[in-house]
Structure 1
Amino acid sequence: MRKIVLLCSAGMSTSLLVTKMREAAAAQGYEADIEAYSVSEASREGADADIILLGPQVRFNLSAVQKQLPGKPVEVIDMAAYGMMNGEAVVKQVKEVLGD
C-alpha cells in the first residue's frame, strides 16, 4: 500500500483530483492511500508518505517541502493533468517516480 500525499494552498482544490486518483488506482488494482492537505501541513502529513505531490499553484514551495522532507520524492503535478483532473495520468506519474 502506497501513501500518496497531495499538497495545495488549503487542501481543498485537490479534493476532486484525489477522488479521480482513487478511482484510477482502484481500476488498476494499485493499492494506495491518497489524501490532500494544505502545503503548511507538509512536514506532518508527508512524514510517512511514499511520495508528496504539489499542486501546480504551489509549485514555488517545491524546494521548501524537499528540505522539510529529505529523502522523500517530492514532485509537482503536471499542469495539464491537474487542470483536466486526470487521475489516471497522476497515478501514472506516481508509479513512474516510485518504480511501481
Structure 2
Amino acid sequence: MKNVIVVCEAGITTSLLVTKLNELAEENDKEIHINSKSTEVGLEYVKEVPVDAVLLVPQIHHKEEEYRKVTNGKVVKVSVSDFNNMNAYSIFEQLNEVI
C-alpha cells in the first residue's frame, strides 16, 4: 500500500481533492492511501511516517524544500491550474508517475 499526503495551509480545502484521488485509485485498482494534512502537521507526519509522495497545493509551494529535507518520498507541486479546477485526473496521473 502506497502512502500519500496532500498538504495545504489548513488541511481542509483539499478534502474534495483527496476524495476524488482515492476514488480514482480504487477505480484503477491502485493500492494507494491518500489523506490530507495541514502544513505543520504534514511536516511532523512525514518525519514519523514513511510516505511515498507528498503533494503540495499551490499555496504552499514555498515549503517544498522543507518537505524534501524531512522525507524520502517524492515531493510534487500541484499546478495552480489543476488545483483551481480540481483536475483530479491530471493530479492522479502525476502521482502515478512518481510512485
Shared fold (TM-score, shorter chain, > 0.5): yes
> Mind listing any 5+ residue stretches in structure 1 that lack a counterpart?
none
Per the alignment, residue 61 of structure 1 pairs with 63
Aligned length: 97
- Two-structure CA RMSD over aligned residues (Å): 1.2
Per the alignment, residue 52 of structure 2 pairs with 50
Distance 1:79 1:88 in 2: 14
Per the alignment, residue 87 of structure 2 pairs with 86
Corresponding letter in the other structure for 1:60: H
Corresponding letter in the other structure for 2:57: G
Matches within 5 A, 1:64-75: 64-69=66-71, 71-75=72-76
Matches within 5 A, 1:16-35: 16-35=16-35
Deviation readout 1:4-34 (Å, 9 max, x if unpaired): 1011000001111001111111111112111
> Mind listing any 5+ residue stretches in structure 2 that lack a counterpart?
none
Per the alignment, residue 6 of structure 2 pairs with 6
User: Do the aligned partners of 2:50 and 2:73 also contact (CA within 8 Å) in 1?
Assistant: no
Which piece of structure 1 moves more, 10-19 or 36-45? 36-45
Per the alignment, residue 77 of structure 2 pairs with 76
Corresponding letter in the other structure for 1:40: E
Corresponding letter in the other structure for 1:19: T
Distance 1:81 1:50 in 2: 21
Identity percentage over the alignment? 29
Q: Which runs of 4+ in 1 moved over 3 A?
A: none
Deviation, 1:66, is 1.1
